[in-house]
Structure 1
């Protein structure tokens, strides 16, 4: 690959860590930004990054149009990279069209299409859930006579456990079908998978030319689907490679063989595994060809001194990441903060949070005045996140609970759909010393 001064990278998305890595390793960076992150207010480096707007960065037509309008239709990029789950296949197709380095679009497809993914892994002899494709979730009558065990229903390609539910019988499936149809859900092709027992583990790592250079294991505080169904904030912790070396020994062959089965030879990955404590078996769950969500980047950087975003950019450029893995002692994890439905009035500042014991990093995803929904539809639709540390896993778990409570007790949210009378009463109960909203009867002074 060319040296930095000759390197030009096209990045699909405006992730702050990815763009920081692009600045470090490319002389020129062009980044495609969709409307949602633009409106959200992405953190974009001031120099060395050219931002192009595109209505849908997962749509080849939208991205090609943005490039040509900017006069870059024939630009000689060194590589196309994306950490955006919904743009992986498009980024591979763009790389082929532009004649530069990038992920093979068929490999990217293996990491997006959950049915193909399970098929590839199962054919390689790796334990994973059996699955059935439902071509149209709006019409499931052909499954009326299917014998059901406990199953998980999910879209063929989505993210964040969105629109995922457990199903135990046909009436339950039919009810979900009617619900999704009534909501006019744009995802129509679903997968019905065998329910997997056990703990949910996470593996985030780097593979280069077929060699797994590094992976970090993590563990969810509870199953993702349980957290979403019960509307609880999800949290996860890093697993220590020394104290929990047995877990790394169990997971390593599944990680390596699954990546090979899916065709990933170079890049970063986020894999979910199931560990059954009763049998000791580790099974494949799902895998994405990108860094994990939430504060995975920060958590792995804190615990292992590995910047997954930088590794992804280097891999896209064909450069082997030179890792300096340093395992920090103690426990570290990250948690989402859900908030409450309504309009956000105030919450503790980031500076205040980061002064609390055990808080290494915090950020909010919603500013004052924005609204939180009645219920979250996918993991990540949260008020904010915190990276939390502790001397032990037990102390970490305790701090997660305490810090969530700290924020929740200081979070002020105006409930949705209040009448003016209710809103006035609510306002005056929170700020009794402020000017009264209603006012009284005017009595003029004596003449």
Structure 2
């Protein structure tokens, strides 16, 4: 397919959006900030790719200036659509598409897909079950919420469980707010704690107010447990694994929540909390982008449907190709972790790709110091793997094996250990090198 004079602006780096833009005969124009530009990528870009470097991809003025510098007088003629999978650029893209009268979600709806407090207010007003939400500014006496009981405290427009903590006592609550007062740059929301038995997700695409595709998934354990426990993050694609009734319930719930938010066009990643006592779903939160942790790659493997392709079609105002075929294999992603220390050697992801049931291994960590944060977020890992198997039991066993191989093929020096541990490591390391010489 030849590339015409049309272009799609992709705000933030995402290789799937680049590929799908090229597949539609258009030029992908990446808009990245300086750190992302200098960081580069290990994934080769198609030769049609162009790049714009700006200071802040979440700032409408910065992105508009970058587009103007790049296209000049050709901007309105050549730019056919704007799209992002960056959580923090969702409202930016909505503002720009409104400004240029391009297809996509408008700003008043995009804001609801970002702001956790406004989300809760909108769905609760529509009768969709959700936890109560209150605003607080850490350190402020004027905008302060008394301890409501066991709760979750999170940034009002954050992402990936970053700076999200669960507290059960008033003493814990006061200590957390005092800690946040020293570093917070955002208002926070205080949500009632739901007794979560399971956490489910629905990932899909909406166009003209209709869900044209959706895929149901489930976390092995609720996301909040990942922030405090040492267990890896597992995300299963659940369609076709014997939970059809629950999948239908999750889809119906997601449709009601999206309708309450007035979201009509674009991809979505919606999280549902299965309440332990009532065995019913509660609205968790939703984003106007794909989920992280190889979710879109898992959806493509499970359903042969590209969420990125759907996002580009919506951004261009073209009908989304909604046909898909669900495989009967069990599919999941798992996070890969290394111990604290200095990473000296990393595994070759190509060695994993040789296995038929390991579809992708993405190594995120670079050589150097690997220091785990005090409170983890769902973005704190050193790698990810996408795995399939004939049964859920085989899938769990295979993911465990991949995690073990990832550690075995890596080498981490005990930077934070004792002098005895560091000297012992150095001695073993030197012996290993001598045996290779």
TM-score, length of structure 2 as denominator length: 0.91
Verify: 1:138 aligned to 2:134, yes or no.
no
The 1:264–1:26 alpha-carbon spacing in structure 2 relative to 1, beyond 3 Å, is farther
Match of 2:120, SS? helix
> Is the CA contact (8 Å cut-off) linking 2:22 and 2:48 kept in structure 1?
yes
- How far residue 264 of structure 1 moved from its aligned partner, in angstroms, is 1.2
| Residue equivalent to 2:287 | 288
- How far residue 415 of structure 1 moved from its aligned partner, in angstroms, is 2.6
> Is the CA contact (8 Å cut-off) linking 1:67 and 1:73 kept in structure 2?
no
Distance 1:303 1:140 in 2: 50
| Residue equivalent to 1:444 | none
> Is the CA contact (8 Å cut-off) linking 2:202 and 2:251 kept in structure 1?
no
| Residue equivalent to 1:31 | 30
Verify: 1:336 aligned to 2:335, yes or no.
yes
- How far residue 338 of structure 1 moved from its aligned partner, in angstroms, is 2.2
Where does 1:178-327 land on structure 2 (aligned, <5 Å)? 178-182=178-182, 184-187=183-186, 189-197=187-195, 198-241=197-240, 243-276=242-275, 278-327=277-326
- How far residue 316 of structure 1 moved from its aligned partner, in angstroms, is 1.0
| Residue equivalent to 1:431 | 430
Q: Per-residue displacement from partner, 1:399-436 (whole Å, max 9, x unpaired)?
A: 22232122223321123357888655422222315369
- How far residue 232 of structure 1 moved from its aligned partner, in angstroms, is 3.3
2:80 is aligned, of 78, 86, 103, to: 78
> Is the CA contact (8 Å cut-off) linking 1:362 and 1:384 kept in structure 2?
yes
Verify: 1:63 aligned to 2:63, yes or no.
yes
Structure 2 unmatched ranges of 5 or more: none
The 1:407–1:105 alpha-carbon spacing in structure 2 relative to 1, beyond 3 Å, is same
| Residue equivalent to 1:125 | 127
Distance 1:399 1:355 in 2: 14
Q: Per-residue displacement from partner, 1:274-310 (whole Å, max 9, x unpaired)?
A: 1236533122111001111111111001111011011
- CA RMSD in angstroms comes to 2.4
> Is the CA contact (8 Å cut-off) linking 2:237 and 2:298 kept in structure 1?
yes
Distance 2:423 2:37 in 1: 35
> Is the CA contact (8 Å cut-off) linking 2:103 and 2:314 kept in structure 1?
no
Distance 2:337 2:96 in 1: 37
| Residue equivalent to 1:383 | 382
- How far residue 238 of structure 1 moved from its aligned partner, in angstroms, is 0.6
Match of 2:75, SS? coil
Distance 1:407 1:29 in 2: 34
| Residue equivalent to 1:442 | none
> Is the CA contact (8 Å cut-off) linking 1:9 and 1:26 kept in structure 2?
no
Distance 1:89 1:74 in 2: 24
| Residue equivalent to 2:168 | 168
- How far residue 94 of structure 1 moved from its aligned partner, in angstroms, is 1.5
Where does 1:6-45 land on structure 2 (aligned, <5 Å)? 7-42=6-41, 43=43, 45=45
Distance 1:313 1:276 in 2: 35
- How far residue 177 of structure 1 moved from its aligned partner, in angstroms, is 1.6
Distance 1:252 1:46 in 2: 36
Match of 1:361, SS? strand
- How far residue 80 of structure 1 moved from its aligned partner, in angstroms, is 1.5
Distance 2:5 2:313 in 1: 14
Distance 2:418 2:278 in 1: 56
- How far residue 253 of structure 1 moved from its aligned partner, in angstroms, is 1.8
| Residue equivalent to 2:89 | 87
The 1:419–1:401 alpha-carbon spacing in structure 2 relative to 1, beyond 3 Å, is closer
Q: Per-residue displacement from partner, 1:70-117 (whole Å, max 9, x unpaired)?
A: 353761122221111000111111122233333201111001100001
> Is the CA contact (8 Å cut-off) linking 1:299 and 1:387 kept in structure 2?
yes
Distance 1:130 1:26 in 2: 47
TM-score, length of structure 1 as denominator length: 0.89
> Is the CA contact (8 Å cut-off) linking 2:340 and 2:416 kept in structure 1?
no
The 1:335–1:36 alpha-carbon spacing in structure 2 relative to 1, beyond 3 Å, is farther
Structure 1 unmatched ranges of 5 or more: 437-447
- How far residue 50 of structure 1 moved from its aligned partner, in angstroms, is 1.0
Match of 1:397, SS? helix
Match of 2:190, SS? strand
> Is the CA contact (8 Å cut-off) linking 2:104 and 2:266 kept in structure 1?
no
The 1:384–1:35 alpha-carbon spacing in structure 2 relative to 1, beyond 3 Å, is farther
